[in-house]
Structure 1
Amino acid sequence: MFAYRVEVRLLPSGRVAAVFDVALTVWMVALSQYFVWRMPDPYGLWTDVDTTGRVLLAVVHVPLIARRRYPVAVCWLTCGGAAVYLTIGYYHSAITFAVALAVYSVAAYRRPRVSVPATVAANAVLLWGNRLVEPGMELAGPATAVMVALIAWAFGEATRRAAEQRATLRVLTQRLEREQEEQARRAVVREQGRIARELHDVIAHHMSVVSVQAGLGRYVFDADPPTARRTLDVIGEVAHEALDEMRRMLAMLRSSTDEAPFAEVAGLAQLDDLLARVRAAGATVDVTVTGVSARLHPGPDLCVYRIIQESLTNVLKHADPPHARMSLCWSATGLTVRVENDGAVGPVGEGYGLVGMRERARLYDGRLRADPRPGGGFEVTLELPLDEVTA
């Protein structure tokens, strides 16, 4: 398990929040003025609100504009102004909502060790204001004041906890994204190593041909000049192919690994053997070939073979039942390989296999898509241009 710490500071979210707080404060000031104007006082309990009272109402309400950024200071300033206002004997209901909003804000933006003392102080202020109540309201008045403050604190605390949970979720999501990126990077490095080892054999094949042709040319150089010239042509073509493969490798690979022995060079010539192995493992594979096939360079040939191999392996691992349809469509401009199944498919993520297939396709300017099918199942499609990959 890993430890982490999340700091949550719910600062204003922009102009919308600022405008909202200003509008809310103006509305609450107007509401307090309405309360003192329509104050029912048949028993003469409260002092008439004069200029001092209106100034104190402003002192109680105006700081609420900054309640998000400075919730503790606003709460204490609001409660202090309310205490003075109530001590003079002004009507208590005019400031109840302001105190409740201050309590909510400090609970929403600060932890209980700060918000609880502020709530206790706010309760004391409201209880002090309810010392002057109408006959018959001696219990209901103070109880209502306490409930207002406690409900405000509860809503604020719930808001804070929800914000902390969202912040924690963001942190965990970012951590998981970084881990997934690192895993994908490692997968690419491992796959690059495998491709490098496989391509080593491709280059070795080219060099073997060059060696044989060079020996033949040297042997017949004097006795059969036309044959010697043909061997030089073959050497030039093979060397050009080898250089192309090396350029692609140097462009993609930054390092190589020694985790596994060199893989056997494979290609479409071994496709029948691959299909036989897959069928022997319990899968059924229907194969369709259209168009006139072309001879691929060893590198692209290996790319197509490995992608078909990985796709059929995924069918064996994830499809239920393991039934696949494979098509190879040759055209004048490219080769399209499609492997699909329509059975139930287990969870197939962006794993090492898909990463490797995409790396192989990009190496030869191809494009690979791997997506769930709308009607169920999975489909892998490789589109490979033929202008640079045919021999």
Structure 2
Amino acid sequence: MRLRPFTTDLLLALGQVAALVLIGPSANGIGWTPLDTQGYGLGLLVILPTLARSKAPITVCLVTYSVWVVYILAGYWPVVTSFGPLLCLYTVSLLRPTRVSAVLAVLLAALWAFGSLLTLDDSFIPSVVAQCVCFNAMVWRMGYLARRSQELARRTRAEQQEKARRAVVEERGRIARELHDVVAHHMSVISVQAGLAKFVFDSDAKTARAALGTISGTSAEALEEMRRMLRVLRAQEDGGEVPDAPMPGLARIGEMTDRVRAGGVPVEFRVVGTPRPIASGVELCAYRVVQEALTNVLKHARQASATVELHYHHDHIEVSVTDDGEGVIQDRVERGRGHGLIGMRERAKLYGGTISIGPRSSGGFAVRLTLPTSARAAPPGDDVTE
């Protein structure tokens, strides 16, 4: 349980009162004036200002020093009430600049030495000076180190907040790329199906109706994914929780290939190995890469056929999309254009995978992605080959 500042100050003041009551009577035994009513009253006046030390540290420190000097000049033992001035010095060292606290530390040492030398023999001077210097230097140093620790903690919190802010910005950028991938894929399918429906509208009503049905389903899915992305963005802006609606995964690759097949591109989908649960981020990464690869086939290799293969290994998965079209996509790779190809590379790096994008020796184009089965951060370096 963390105490409030005033509660802490009150407990410290009560501790000083207890020390005054317990130690005060022993002053007479070592040659100091015994504490009487006046002595206890002055001692309480030294203690009382420390209750406000956090609100006005310098003022409280000077007031405490002044009352303590009166207490010392009255001939009372300084050690009995020394905790109050030391506590004030610590507070100034903690809350105020080093230059100010250093001046007050020197002043306290001088007052302490002055009070002690009023009644002590010259033989005690070296011991008194050493005590004044050591005790005050130690208290001042403790306050200084505590202040530096607080400043470091504040800087650390600020850096963490800045890092969190940058992470949010990067996440929003990632979501923007997600939107691009989703919209580009679905719009490509809708465009192809709309052209097909228009072409066969009068001659083949059944095919036209099927194309319109595909357009309806694809557009509905696109709208739903856009709503999901917008909910994520709004939740981040409002500081709320990110909705937990499921994102596309490996199980939906079959649906994707069906849509592309309905769009006029023959697509074969094969699964090798035993399907098993994979980290959701890895599944989404694989899904988006396949989606972008098939979108490129729809856009740039319409006369080609494509094959999508998902291979489950012991500690990783492999996903490949190959087609037998001409080199239109290859030209885009060589010129380094296209946000989709950049997105593939970024996704592979994000999840510690490798990806190769380029033409096949037998003709056509291939995208091959390898991902670990757990969503881990990518190691440094370039994990993309072309």
Could you tell me the TM-score, scaled by structure 2's length?
0.60
Residues 19-41 of structure 1 deviation map (CA, whole Å, 9 limit, x = unaligned): 23212211112212322211144
Could you list the per-position Cα deviations for residues 88-143 of structure 1 after superposition, in whole angstroms to 9, with x for gaps in the alignment?
21111112222211111110111212211221221121112111354432220232
User: Does residue 353 of the first structure (1) align with residue 338 of the second (2)?
Assistant: no
Q: Give matches, 1:127-206, under 5 Å.
A: 127-135=113-121, 136-206=123-193
Q: 1:251 corresponds to which letter in structure 2?
A: R
CA distance in 2, matches of 1:204, 1:289: 36
Question: Alignment partner for residue 87 of structure 1, among 73, 87, 90?
Answer: 73
Query: 1:366 aligns to what?
Result: none
Q: In 2 relative to 1, CA 267–340 (structure 1 residues): closer, same or farther, beyond 3 Å?
A: farther
Alignment match of 2:196 (pick from 206, 209, 214): 209
Q: 2:52 aligns with which of 66, 70, 90?
A: 66
Local SS of the residue matching 1:138: helix
The structure, 1 or 2, with the larger RCO (C-alpha pairs under 8 Å, 6+ apart) is 1
- Secondary structure of 2:272's counterpart equals strand
1:30 aligns with 2:35: no
1:234 matched to 2:229? The reply is no
- Alpha-carbon distance, 1:85 to partner: 0.8
Which of 297, 306, 325 is the equivalent residue of 2:288?
306
Identity value in percent: 22
What is the identity, as a one-letter code, of the residue corresponding to 2:223? R
- Alpha-carbon distance change, 303 to 141 in structure 1, aligned in 2, over 3 angstroms: closer
**TM alignment of 1:207-356, pairs within 5 A:** 207-217=194-204, 228=205, 230-231=206-207, 233-248=209-224, 251=227, 267=257, 269=267, 287-288=272-273, 305-307=287-289, 326-327=311-312, 340-341=315-316, 353=347
- Paired amino acid for 1:64: T
CA contact (8 A) 1:130 1:141 kept: yes
* CA-CA distance at 1:50 after TM superposition: 2.6
Does 1:110 pair with 2:104?
A: no
Query: What letter matches 1:379 in structure 2?
Result: S
Distance of aligned partners of 1:200 and 1:42 in 2 relative to their CA distance in 1, 3 Å threshold: closer
**Cα 1:25–1:270, aligned 2, differ >3 Å: closer, same or farther?**
farther
Report the residue type matching 2:216 in the other structure: H
Distance 2:186 2:350 in 1: 14
CA deviation map 1:224-270 (0-9, x unaligned): xxxx4x3464355234224424533653577xxxxxxxxxxx84836
Kept in 2: contact 1:29–1:58 (CA 8 A): yes
Amino acid at match of 2:139: A
Please give the secondary structure, in 2, of the residue aligned with 1:38: helix
1:158-182 CA distance string (max 9 Å, x none): 1000110000110111111111111
Deviations along 1:18-72, one digit per CA (max 9) or x if unpaired, are 32321221111221232221114455xx333332222211111122222223222
Distance of aligned partners of 1:181 and 1:235 in 2 relative to their CA distance in 1, 3 Å threshold: closer
Taking the aligned partners of 2:54 and 2:152, their CA distance within structure 1 comes to: 19
Amino acid at match of 2:90: Y
Are residues 1:19 and 2:7 paired?
Answer: yes
CA distance in 2, matches of 1:127, 1:81: 16
How far apart are the structure 1 equivalents of 2:64 and 2:70? 10
User: Whole-Å Cα distance in 1 between the matches of residues 199 and 315 of structure 2?
Assistant: 42
Alpha carbons of structure 1 residues 117 and 89: separation in structure 2 relative to 1, 3 Å: same
Q: 1:379 aligns with which of 354, 367, 374?
A: 374
The more displaced of 239-248 and 56-65 is: 239-248
CA contact (8 A) 1:287 1:326 kept: yes
- Across the aligned residues of Structure 1 and Structure 2, the Cα RMSD in angstroms comes to 3.7
Q: Given the superposition, is the C-alpha separation of residues 20 and 309 from structure 1 closer, same or farther in structure 2, using an over 3 Å criterion?
A: same
Across the two proteins, how many residue pairs are aligned to each other? 272
Conserved? CA contact 2:285–2:347, under 8 Å: no
Structure 2: distance between partners of 1:165 and 1:290: 50
**Aligned AA (2:50):** L
Return the alpha-carbon distance in structure 2 between the equivalents of residues 339 and 307 of structure 1: 21
